[in-house]
Amino acid sequence: MAENTANAPVKKKKRKNSKLADTWRLFKKRKTSVLGLIIFSIILFMVLCAPLFVEKSKVEESDWEYLNSPPVAGHPFGTDDLGRDLFARVLYGGRNSLEIGLVSMVCALFMGVVIGSLCGYFGGVLDQIVMRVLDVLKSIPTTVLALAIVAALGGSKTNLILAIMISQTPAQVRLVRSAVIGIAGREYFEAARACGTSTPRIIFKHIVPNCIGTVIIQASMAMAQMILQAASLSFIGLGIQPPEPEWGSMLSGAREFMSSAPWQMIFPGLFIMLSAYSFNLIGDGLRDALDPKLRS
Partner 1 sequence: MWRYVVKRLLLLIPVILGAILIISFVLSLSKGSPAEIILGPGFQQEEYDEYNRELGFSDPFFVRYFRYVGNLVKGDFGTSYYNKTSVWSELKARIPISLRTTFMALALAALVGVPLGVLTAVKQYSMFDTIPTAMAMIFAATPVFWLGMLLMFFFAVKLGWFSVLPVGKFKDLILPTLSLGLPHAARQMRFTRSSMLEAIREDYIRTARAKGCKERTVIWHHAVKNALLPVITVIGNSFGAMFGGTVIIEKLFVVNGIGSLMVKGIGNRDVPIVTGCVVIIALVYSLVTMVVDILYAYIDPRTKARFIK
What residues from 107 to 136 belong to the interface with partner 1 (CB under 8 A)?
132-133, 135-136
Q: In the chain, what is the greatest distance between 2 CA atoms, to the nearest angstrom?
A: 78
Rounded CA-CA distance 287/104 in Å is 22
Pick the piece of the chain touching partner 1 (CB under 8 A) from 16-24, 54-62, 207-215, 264-272. 264-272
CB-wise, 33 or 117, nearer to partner 1?
A: 33
| Amino acid code (one letter) for 185 | G
What residues from 24 to 53 belong to the interface with partner 1 (CB under 8 A)?
32
What residues from 57 to 86 belong to the interface with partner 1 (CB under 8 A)?
none
CB-wise, 117 or 280, nearer to partner 1?
A: 280
Bridge partner list, 79:
85
Q: Is 79 helix (H, G, I), strand (E, B) or coil?
A: strand
Rounded CA-CA distance 104/167 in Å is 10
State phi, psi for 10 to the nearest 5 degrees.
-60, -45
Pick the piece of the chain touching partner 1 (CB under 8 A) from 19-27, 117-125, 200-208, 259-267. 259-267
The pattern of x and - marking residues 206 through 245 that bind partner 1 according to CB under 8 A reads ------------------x---x--xx--xxxx-------
By the rule CB under 8 A, 269 interacts with partner 1? yes
State phi, psi for 79 to the nearest 5 degrees.
-130, 165
Q: How many residues bind partner 1 (CB under 8 A)?
A: 45
By the rule CB under 8 A, 262 interacts with partner 1? yes
User: Which of 281, 282, 289, 290 is in the footprint of partner 1 by CB under 8 A?
Assistant: 281
Contact 183, 206 (CB under 8 A): yes
By the rule CB under 8 A, 255 interacts with partner 1? yes
Bridge partner list, 85:
79
| Closest to 221 measured CA to CA, from 105, 113, 143 | 105
User: Which of 34, 46, 216, 273 is in the footprint of partner 1 by CB under 8 A?
Assistant: 273
User: Which of 59, 254, 282, 286 is in the footprint of partner 1 by CB under 8 A?
Assistant: 254
Pick the piece of the chain touching partner 1 (CB under 8 A) from 79-87, 200-208, 209-217, 254-262. 254-262
For residue 274, the minimal CB distance to partner 1 (Å) is 8
Contact 214, 190 (CB under 8 A): no
CB-wise, 66 or 257, nearer to partner 1?
A: 257
User: Which of 34, 46, 137, 203 is in the footprint of partner 1 by CB under 8 A?
Assistant: 137
Rounded CA-CA distance 124/118 in Å is 10
Q: How many CA atoms lie within 13 A of 282 on its CB side?
A: 21
Which residues, including other chains, have CB under 8 Å from residue 231's CB and lie 6 or more apart?
97, 246, 247, 248, 251, 272
For residue 237, the minimal CB distance to partner 1 (Å) is 8
| Closest to 54 measured CA to CA, from 77, 80, 87 | 87
Residues lying near partner 1 in the complex (CB under 8 A) are found at: 32, 132-133, 135-145, 147-149, 151-154, 224, 228, 231-232, 235-238, 248, 251, 254-255, 258-259, 262, 265, 269, 272-274, 276-277, 280-281
